[in-house]
Amino acid sequence: MSEDNKELTTENGQGAAGDRKFATKLIHFGAEIDEQTGASSVPIYQASTFHHHDIFNPPQYDYSRSGNPTRQALEDYIALLEGGNRGFAFASGMAAISTTFLLLSAGDHVIVTEDVYGGTYRLLTSILNRLGIESTFVDMTDFAAVQAALLPNTKAVFMETPSNPTLKITNIAETTAWAKEHGLLTMLDNTFMTPYHQRPIEHGVDIVLHSATKFLGGHSDVLAGLAVTADEALGKRLKVLQNGMGTVLSAQESWLLMRGMKTLQTRMEQSERSARKLAEWLSQDSRVSKVYYPGLEGHPGREVHERQSLGYGAVVSFDAGSGEKAKALLSKVRIPLVAVSLGAVESILSYPAMMSHAAMPREVRLERGITDGLVRYSVGLEDIDDLIADLDQALNG
């Protein structure tokens, strides 16, 4: 009996649970009550292997790399939230993204959002390029530029919208319609929006990816990645890769992630409300030279974003004027964590030039608008008045 390709999953996003509102799905996702005991949370199946009670009738789960009931509950949960066919949980966001890119083969070409997450850029330009997978980085706010990047060997389009950290907007439906005409696979990194604010499968995307380390986990205490496929054929192919690469998420981490996800809507609502206020306040402040937030009037692509998303998210980027000023600000703030990462209960201030985008050559970085003065503020659940007062004193540095 093979550990590969075993059908462990059920159809998601449809049926009774699929008709409910998002907030209800977050709490009642199917596995929230343990069938055997009635326990109010998914059991953590801390087991690597499963006994074959009857050798002629193999168990549903046989080895935890290939399938684990706790991980399966999480995988069904994210598939339900994204409205997809099948979910997959990985050891990190990069494990999800790198495993998914292996749907491509040597000789294939992929069109990628220009200011894509730094780790995705590094994966494409220092690892996948060696394996013969080529990539072209394109400013996807310009649809003509996306079309112009098409090569005879193009097989896929990888989007990140809003992009990181300048929050540029890609028109998802326009891009996926064009990609379908050309038989291209479409992938979208939905980390910044989460399925609460944006459900890319509804706009034609084939595979949605997440660093669940961020808003989905939400507490800066779990590293995880998720993928959701729109249809079963792709789901089967990704299952082979997840099992074959062994890039799976552990049962403990799967449980912890589900624990965090239950409060996603409440956290996103409050953080977004605060982020809007922070962006407005920053945009009136003469000490700041530029503010990036999709909810600000005049943000490029705002109308496109509003058509495809239900909110603006909780990440605000701004230019403190220079590298010196940005560093002074980072050493003077007292409330946010100064760190890589985002999307947590605590606010997190990060400095892309020296943190998330440090792997990117300076010229490339500047070309992509990631200046030396750019800082990224991920708004947490603290009182917004305190956050603004803190930033105000720090900007005086």
Ligand X SMILES: *Cc1c(COP(=O)(O)O)cnc(C)c1O
Single residue of 64, 154, 175, 211 touching ligand X by CB under 6 A: 211
Q: Which of 199, 177, 186 is nearest to 13 (CA)?
A: 199
Question: In terms of C-beta distances under 8 Å and separation of at least 24 residues, what long-range contacts does 138-145 make, across chains too?
Answer: 138/111, 138/112, 138/113, 138/114, 139/114, 139/168, 140/113, 140/114, 140/168, 140/170, 140/175, 141/168, 141/169, 141/170, 141/300, 141/301, 143/171, 143/174, 143/175, 143/178
**Chain position whose Cβ is nearest to ligand X:** 93
Q: Give the footprint of ligand X on residues 36-95 (CB under 6 A).
A: 92-94
Q: What is residue 59's three-state secondary structure?
A: coil
Is 117 part of the annotated catalytic residue set? yes
Nearest approach, Cβ of residue 120 and ligand X (Å) = 6
Binding-residue pattern over the window 245 to 264 for ligand X, x denoting contact by CB under 6 A: --------------------
Choose the binding region for ligand X from 127-135, 209-217, 267-275, 347-355 (rule: CB under 6 A): 209-217
Nearer to ligand X, 94 or 140 (CB): 94
Q: Dig out the tokens for 153 from the structure.
A: 């060997």
Choose the binding region for ligand X from 23-31, 58-66, 208-216, 239-247 (rule: CB under 6 A): 208-216
248-273 burial code (b ≥16 CB/10 A, e <16) = bbbbebbbbbbbbbbebbebbebbbe
Nearer to ligand X, 50 or 196 (CB): 196
- Is the preceding omega at residue 165 within 30 degrees of 0, hence cis? yes
Nearest approach, Cβ of residue 146 and ligand X (Å) = 19
DSSP 127-165: IITTTT-EEEEE-TT-HHHHHHT--TTEEEEEEESS-TT
DSSP 273-329: HHHHHHHHHHHT-TT-SEEE-TTSTT-TTHHHHHHH-S---SEEEEE-SSHHHHHHH
Rounded to whole angstroms, the Cα distance separating 397 from 333 reads: 10
Nearest approach, Cβ of residue 24 and ligand X (Å) = 27
89 DSSP β-pair partners: 226
Binding status of residue 225 toward ligand X by CB under 6 A: yes
Single residue of 114, 189, 253, 390 touching ligand X by CB under 6 A: 189
Which of 25, 71, 168, 214 is catalytic? The answer is 214
Nearer to ligand X, 167 or 384 (CB): 167
How many Cβ atoms from other residues are within 10 Å of residue 110's Cβ?
Answer: 24
Q: Dig out the tokens for 391 from the structure.
A: 């930033």
Is 189 part of the annotated catalytic residue set? yes
Single residue of 191, 254, 317, 350 touching ligand X by CB under 6 A: 191
Nearer to ligand X, 211 or 265 (CB): 211
Nearest approach, Cβ of residue 212 and ligand X (Å) = 7
Nearest approach, Cβ of residue 355 and ligand X (Å) = 11
Is 214 part of the annotated catalytic residue set? yes
Rounded to whole angstroms, the Cα distance separating 86 from 3 reads: 18
Nearer to ligand X, 133 or 395 (CB): 133
Nearest approach, Cβ of residue 393 and ligand X (Å) = 28
Nearer to ligand X, 96 or 133 (CB): 96
Residues 6+ apart with CB under 8 A from 330: 338, 349, 351, 375
Nearest approach, Cβ of residue 203 and ligand X (Å) = 18
Q: Give the footprint of ligand X on residues 153-172 (CB under 6 A).
A: 160, 164
How many residues lie near ligand X (CB under 6 A)? 14
Nearer to ligand X, 211 or 317 (CB): 211
**Residues lying near ligand X in the complex (CB under 6 A):** 92-94, 117, 119, 160, 164, 189, 191, 211, 213-214, 223, 225
Catalytic positions: 65, 117, 189, 214
